[in-house]
Structure 1
């Protein structure tokens, strides 16, 4: 019985050593890029989801983003990747219905929202060979805003309503998650940003974008040095 126990112990120890050797080699072969800085840019597909009874349809807006990133290794598999980006988001919203003018004082039609942010993503990336999975928070500052095709009318005239940066919350924050692929000094990937703060202040902008938060899908390519 003692020999059987000793045999099982030695067998178990051998299996443990094999597993330890395999894991150690996996860590040693992991190629987490060293500290580097680079430029990146790509396309945004953004959309509002408006909780407003006169909003009949929300459609995506095509925008862009570009800026700088740096990748700082924490260990063989984990990296910290802060970035600073200029990003253009928004949505196209169609308003209609018999109560539109009485409720909001505007004409029915499609309104285009354009919001331009300076964004600071703070992502942690798990690197598995050339593949990385990243997630983290972001903070954005609204640099400018404009709204197109927003009009009011009375019996004799049609006037354009002007909404600008002062009508929207100057800060946005949220979470992001994505996947990337690194080949030498080139990185490509996709990311989703979900805002946790309403974009519109009180008043007309708040009513038009009621309960809307930024929702942005991104495709990007970057070059590291």
Structure 2
């Protein structure tokens, strides 16, 4: 009897899971699964992380670009995106030589995530996958305590690793052709080139970003 009850419970659980993943990747007005293409944009809350450094501060940036949603079946899609995204961090300093101030690392990437999207409820999805990015522009600014803003001319884009890569994951809510969501990007590659001034200033840290976005599909 216990075995029968266990089988029944397991079957019910599997049925519930299967049912949740069987939600359609389509709007109520559509009769069939079809690819979608759209535009999206939003806000980035970015930082740089490294094991032995805790004094970086979160920086506000932006993300904007295009996406495609390619259904593989009911409830499962592949979503490639092409984004222009702003990352980096703020780091405060306070010492006898420089005084008080803040370094602001502004790193702008052309980024391409490729995400697997799973509908776990009618209008709710989870997504996860890798990303690769190309550093299009970089500048470091010194915001001194007296209000002076200086750009550190000794550092430019060539002092940083051009290619970044990592994983991204998050959740989204789809309402008809509109989507809103939140995502976390976790970089695997050091931002500054090893042995360079950029590497020393960033302390061999890597990109970290929370993205909040809205999108419109067609």
* 1:13-52 pair list within 5 angstroms: 26=19, 30-33=23-26, 34-49=34-49
For the 8 Å contact 1:132–1:179, the answer to whether it is kept is yes
For 1:214, the equivalent position in structure 2 comes to 207
**Unpaired segments of 5 or more residues in structure 1?**
1-7, 99-104, 152-157
Give the paired residue count. Answer: 198
- Inter-partner Cα distance in structure 2 for 1:47 and 1:73: 33
3-state SS in 2 of match to 1:81? strand
Instruction: Pick closer, same or farther for the CA change 1:79–1:214 going to 2, 3 Å.
Output: same
For 1:175, the equivalent position in structure 2 comes to 167
- Inter-partner Cα distance in structure 1 for 2:199 and 2:143: 14
- Inter-partner Cα distance in structure 2 for 1:136 and 1:172: 15
For 1:65, the equivalent position in structure 2 comes to 63
Q: Which has the larger radius of gyration?
A: 1
Compare 106-115 and 173-182 and name the one that shifted more.
106-115
3-state SS in 2 of match to 1:166? helix
**Unpaired segments of 5 or more residues in structure 2?**
27-33, 145-149
1:111 has 2:111 as partner: no
3-state SS in 2 of match to 1:219? strand
- Inter-partner Cα distance in structure 2 for 1:160 and 1:27: 53
For the 8 Å contact 1:50–1:58, the answer to whether it is kept is no
CA RMSD of the aligned region, Å?
Answer: 3.2
- Inter-partner Cα distance in structure 2 for 1:50 and 1:172: 15
Instruction: Pick closer, same or farther for the CA change 1:179–1:72 going to 2, 3 Å.
Output: same
Instruction: Pick closer, same or farther for the CA change 1:114–1:28 going to 2, 3 Å.
Output: closer
CA shift digits 1:76-120 (9 cap, x unpaired): 12100000000011111113446xxxxxx9776310100000000
